Amino acid sequence: MTPRENPVSIVIPLFNAERHIVSVLEAILSQDYEGDREVIVVNDGSTDRSRDLLKTFEEEGIIKVLDQPNQGAVAATNAGFNAARYGFICSVDSDAVLHRGWLRKIMEEFDDPRVGAVQGYIKTPAGLPFIARMAGYDLEYRYDQLRSKYVTQVSTTNTAYRKTAVEKAGLFDPQFTYGYDNDMSYRIQKAGYTLVFRGDAFCDHYWKADTKSYLKQQYRSAYGRMQLISKHRDKLTGDSVSGIRMIVQVPLTLAALCLILLGAVALPWGGSRFFVAAGLFLFGAVLVDRVIFALEIVRKQRDPSACFLPLVHLFRNVVWSWAFVAWGLRGAFLFL
């Protein structure tokens, strides 16, 4: 039996995903894959109709449902991985709809015994609201910049893991609320395995649509990045998906904000113009980079609304800066 025919466990952490969970399950069940598969949905204390929508699938024996009080995505994912019977475990988000052929293409990469995990391409489906499209376009652009299928980070949104690799690396670290998939990626590599990005294995990801959810997610993302750097000092400049061009925006934006604030404080004593000018210069440098970034996305996506992406990213950078400050204050408090 070749790896591509091996039985596969598919784990879906679920919390309040009534809008997409049926489509997610139908897409998994329609995969053109010859090997056996089991589908494990971990209901993490959903309060919407998600649990009810699983009943038909569960009664027909198509899926297995694990119910638990709300503990977060890491606990739900770990519960699913612990329950998985097979030697390959796929993590699929409850708002990620796999294209036909995804599982077959992903499993082909495990022919190489050195491969510990394989991720597919996360696409931005048509018709999403503005903020959701901008988040999706941003990620797609970074995927398009990859120059090799071998990467240093894979996302739990749509990734298959070799079970032995996870056993060597350990389960997902519960100290993370965001970035736990990055942490797992780094640990799998340290365990001696490689990571693969399969650019022709697509899934549609239905990003959260409203501004509040987006900014909250970005705060958690930035805070999680600080946790990652604290645990993996060699990842200070990021990884193959979130590289230095993205990481450097945080210190530049924070420095710009500090200089402008310093200029306002220094106003009674003079010298404020220098600080404000320096701050605006740094803001301008970040903005120029984001404009170039946005124009490249407009060219690919053929969506003129992406011209507003620099403004979205400026707000995002401010949120990232606040997360950086919160992380620093937390560290200082613990030190004291």
Give the tens place of pLDDT for each residue, 275-293: 888 999 999 999 999 999 9
Any idea which of 27-41, 186-200, 321-335 has the lowest mean pLDDT? 321-335
Q: Is it the case that residue 72 has pLDDT exceeding 80?
A: yes
Classify strands 158-162 and 115-123 as parallel, antiparallel or unpaired: antiparallel
Question: In this predicted structure, what is the pLDDT of residue 332?
Answer: 60
d(CA 97, CA 105): 15
Q: What percentage of the chain reaches a pLDDT higher than 70?
A: 96
Q: Is it the case that residue 153 has pLDDT exceeding 70?
A: yes
Q: Is it the case that residue 268 has pLDDT exceeding 80?
A: no
Q: Is it the case that residue 333 has pLDDT exceeding 80?
A: no
- In angstroms, the first-to-last Cα distance of the chain is 58
Mean pLDDT within 37-59: 96
Q: Is it the case that residue 1 has pLDDT exceeding 80?
A: no
Question: In this predicted structure, what is the pLDDT of residue 3?
Answer: 60
Q: Is it the case that residue 5 has pLDDT exceeding 90?
A: no
Which pLDDT band holds residue 50 (cuts at 50, 70, 90)? very high
Question: In this predicted structure, what is the pLDDT of residue 262?
Answer: 87
Mean pLDDT within 238-264: 90
Classify strands 64-68 and 150-151 as parallel, antiparallel or unpaired: unpaired
Both tokens assigned to 175: 């100290």
Cβ(253)–Cβ(286) below 8 Å:
yes
Place of tokens 């707000």: 315
pLDDT digits (tens, 9 = 90+) for 140-152: 999 999 999 999 9
Which residue from 133, 282, 149, 312 is spatially nearest to 218, judged by alpha carbons?
A: 312
pLDDT digits (tens, 9 = 90+) for 206-229: 987 788 888 888 999 999 999 999
Mean pLDDT within 259-264: 87
Q: Is it the case that residue 335 has pLDDT exceeding 60?
A: no
d(CA 235, CA 21): 34
Question: In this predicted structure, what is the pLDDT of residue 336?
Answer: 47
Q: Is the pTM of this model over 0.85?
A: yes
Question: Mean pLDDT across the chain, nearest whole number?
Answer: 93
Classify strands 88-92 and 158-162 as parallel, antiparallel or unpaired: antiparallel
Task: Give the start-end residues of each E strand in the chain.
Answer: 8-14, 37-44, 64-68, 88-92, 96-98, 115-123, 150-151, 158-162, 194-205
Place of tokens 């992903």: 106
pLDDT digits (tens, 9 = 90+) for 80-138: 999 999 999 999 999 999 999 999 999 999 999 999 999 999 999 999 999 999 999 99
